[in-house]
């Protein structure tokens, strides 16, 4: 490596690429001896008010999402600096292309996947974490509203309102990131789990926004988990594509829920009905043309109830 080689990394917020909600993607640019790389996405978006252009990090957000972004910046910086040193000791001069390929190996048969801001699996994990965080927020809210002391309650409500505002911002970032990821993935590669998580983040956004009840959102969370468990148990994989779904999928799902999970008939049918609704949203989003579960009839059994007798009304 030439001692005179000049190497730098720049992390920046691209305001010109902001989405309609004002969330700006974070990019990195490599410069070696005056030659610049293309702008490389870190897979995160944030409102400009939370970005410190001097420190090159997210500030004003004491949240797991903010910590993840700042950790990603530090890890990326360390990865590129380490590889720059290794390449220099091995080859002498280091070029921008050499460095990028060393840190982000390119697969000719997977070019679209390489361009994703984050992998679908990572996106799913982030949505899971956000749901858990929202669930904890609503638990705290319920507890605070029962506080007898009005002054203490008012103070805690103000704290909760600030937390909710931050959660809303982070859900908007996740929603935008979800759109970016699924726009890049071809429809034939989109999975049942992709559809489940896309449905969940959409419903979670509505719940925090006040147009849907969070208690209902929890039911969709359960449905998502049951689908994931079923795919792992029956097909030994979670990468089951939407195009692979047929009526048999619903029949096997029913058997799994009733025989393996010991769900009652009505509970199993409700989960399958929810799954059918998730696929309906995939159709609305343009991921599928028709619903393969559309002709699966979700029947319900009325529970037997004993008729009240005169003795019940007049036990004496």
Q: Are 83 and 40 in contact (CB under 8 A)?
A: no
Which token pair is 28?
A: 């990195």
Q: What is the 3-state secondary structure (H, E, C) of the chain?
A: CCCCCCEEEEEEECHHHCCCCCEEEEEEEEEECCEECCCEEEEEEEEHHHEECCCCEECCCCCHHHHHHHHHHHHHHHHHHHHHHHHHHHHCCCCHHHHHHHHCCCCHHHHHHHHCCCCHHHHHHHHHHHHHHHHHHHHHHHHHCCCCCHHHHHHHHHHHHHHHHHHHHHHHHHHHHHHHHHHHCCHHHCEHHHHHHHHHHHHHHHHHHCCCCHHHHHHHHHHHHHHHHHHHHHCCCCCCEHHHCCHHHHHHHHHHHHHHCCCCHHHHHHHHHHHHHHHHHHHHCCCCCCCCCCCCCCCCCCCCCCCCCHHHHCCC
Burial class (CB in 10 A: 0-12, 13-18, 19+), 77: middle
Q: Note the pLDDT of residue 66.
A: 80
d(Cα 14, Cα 278) in Å, to the nearest integer? Answer: 34
pLDDT at position 42 = 83
Give me Rg for the CA atoms of the chain.
25
pLDDT for the residue 39: 86
Q: 55 φ, ψ to 5°? A: -80, -15
Q: What is the mean pLDDT of each run of 10 residues along the chain (316 residues)?
A: 76 88 88 90 85 90 76 89 88 87 58 63 92 93 88 88 88 87 87 96 94 94 96 91 93 95 93 95 92 87 60 50
Distance separating alpha carbons of residues 132 and 111, to the nearest angstrom: 33
Task: Write down the pLDDT at residue 204.
Answer: 95
Neighbours of 21 (CB within 10 A): 12
How far apart are alpha carbons 263 and 256 in whole angstroms?
A: 9
Q: CA separation (Å) from 159 to 135, 140, 155, 169?
A: 16, 11, 7, 16
CB neighbours (10 Å) of residue 279? 23
Query: Domain boundaries in the chain?
Result: 7-105, 115-284
């Amino acid at each position: 490596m030439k001692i005179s080689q000049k190497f730098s990394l720049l992390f920046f917020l691209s305001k010109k690429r902001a989405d309609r909600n004002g969330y700006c993607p974070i990019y990195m640019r490599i410069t070696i001896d005056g030659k610049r790389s293309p702008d490389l996405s870190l897979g995160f978006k944030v409102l400009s008010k939370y970005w410190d252009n001097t420190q090159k990090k997210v500030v004003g957000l004491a949240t797991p999402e903010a910590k993840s972004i700042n950790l990603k910046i530090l890890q990326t910086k360390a990865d590129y600096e380490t590889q720059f040193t290794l390449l220099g000791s091995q080859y002498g001069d280091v070029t921008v292309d050499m460095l990028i390929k060393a840190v982000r190996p390119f697969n000719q048969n997977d070019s679209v996947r390489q361009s994703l801001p984050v992998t679908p699996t990572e996106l799913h994990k982030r949505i899971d974490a956000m749901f858990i965080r929202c669930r904890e927020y609503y638990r705290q809210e319920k507890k605070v509203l029962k506080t007898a002391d009005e002054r203490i309650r008012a103070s805690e409500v103000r704290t909760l309102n600030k937390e909710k505002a931050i959660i809303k911002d982070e859900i908007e970032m996740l929603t935008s990131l979800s759109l970016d990821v699924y726009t890049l993935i071809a429809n034939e590669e989109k999975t049942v789990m992709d559809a489940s998580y896309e449905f969940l983040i959409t419903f979670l956004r509505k719940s925090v926004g006040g147009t849907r009840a969070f208690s209902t959102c929890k039911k969709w969370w359960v449905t998502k988990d049951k689908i994931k468990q079923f795919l792992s148990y029956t097909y030994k994989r979670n990468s089951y594509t939407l195009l692979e779904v047929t009526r048999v999928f619903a029949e096997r799902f029913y058997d799994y829920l009733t025989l393996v999970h010991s769900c009652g008939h009505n509970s199993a049918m409700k989960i399958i009905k929810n799954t059918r609704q998730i696929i309906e949203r995939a159709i609305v989003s343009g991921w599928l043309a028709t619903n393969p579960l559309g002709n699966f009839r979700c029947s319900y059994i009325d529970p037997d109830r004993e008729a009240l007798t005169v003795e019940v009304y007049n036990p004496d």
